[in-house]
Amino acid sequence: MEALRTSDPARIAGHRLLGRLGEGGMGVVYLARSAGGTLVALKVVLGEYADDAGFRERFRREVAIARRVTSPWAVRLVDAAPDAEEPWLATEFVPGPSLAEAVDRHGPLPVRGVRVLGARLAEALHDLHEAGLVHRDLKPGNVLLLPDGPRLIDFGIARAPDDTSLTATGLVVGTPGYLAPEQADGRTGEAVQAAGDVFSLGCVLVYAATGRPPFGTGPADALLYRVVHDAPDVADVPDEVAGIVRRCLDKDPAARPTAQDLARDLAPEPDPGPSPAMGQEGEACAPWLPEPVVQLIAHRSSAALDLPDVTDTEVSGTSPAGGPARSAGAAQHGIADHPGGPGAPARLSPTRRRFLTVTGGAALLAAGGGAALWAADRDGGPPPATRPGPPRPTIALHGDLSGPDKETGLAQERGLRLAVEQFNARPGRPLTLAVRTEDDGGDPAAARRVAGRLAADPGVLAVVGPTTDPAAEAALAAYDTALLPVVAVSPGSITLAVQGYRSFCHARVPDTILAFYLNVYLRGFAGSRRIGIVDDRAADHHGWEISSTLSKLLHQDGHPQVPKVVSALRRDFRPTVDTLLAAGADSVVFAGGADRAALVAKVLRDRRFGGARAAAHPILDPRFVRAAGDAAEGWLSVAPVADPARLKGGAAFTAAYRRRFGGPPPRYAAEAYDATNMVLAALGGLKTPRPAREDLLAAVRGTPYQGITKKLAFKKDTGELVIAADNGVFLWRVERGAFRCQGPAPVTVPS
Taking each helix axis from N to C end, the angle separating 574-582 and 594-606, rounded to the nearest 10 degrees, works out to 60
Cα dihedral angle (689, 690, 692, 698), rounded to 10 degrees?
10
* DSSP string computed for 311-350: -----SS-PPPP-S---HHHHHTTSTTSTTSTTSPP---G
Q: Mapping DSSP to helix (H, G, I), strand (E, B) and coil, where does residue 40 land?
A: strand
Q: Mapping DSSP to helix (H, G, I), strand (E, B) and coil, where does residue 525 land?
A: helix
CB neighbour class for 350 (10 Å; exposed up to 12, middle 13-18, buried from 19): exposed
The total of other beta-carbon atoms located within 10 Å of residue 148's CB is 17
Residue 730 β-bridge partners: 639, 744
Q: Are strands 531-536 and 561-566 parallel, antiparallel or unpaired?
A: parallel
Helix (H) or strand (E) holding 681: helix 669-686
- The set of residues, in sequence order, having a beta carbon less than 8 Å from that of 298 and lying 6+ positions away, is none
Region of 696 on the Ramachandran plot (φ > 0 left; ψ -120 to 50 alpha; else beta): alpha
Q: Are strands 531-536 and 486-488 parallel, antiparallel or unpaired?
A: unpaired
For this structure, is 309 an active site residue?
Answer: no
Q: Please report, in angstroms and rounded to a whole number, the separation of the first and last CA atoms in the chain.
A: 53
Nearest CA to 322 among 346, 354, 351, 355? 346
Q: How many residues does the chain have?
A: 751
Nearest CA to 467 among 705, 210, 294, 641? 641
- Can the peptide bond before residue 404 be classed as cis, meaning omega within 30 degrees of 0? no
- The set of residues, in sequence order, having a beta carbon less than 8 Å from that of 149 and lying 6+ positions away, is 72, 73, 116, 120, 278, 280, 288
Residue type, 446: A
Distance, in Å, from the CA atom of 209 to the CA atom of 99, rounded to the nearest integer, reads 11
- Active-site hit among 137, 250, 405, 621: 137
Taking each helix axis from N to C end, the angle separating 111-130 and 239-248, rounded to the nearest 10 degrees, works out to 30
Active site residues: 137
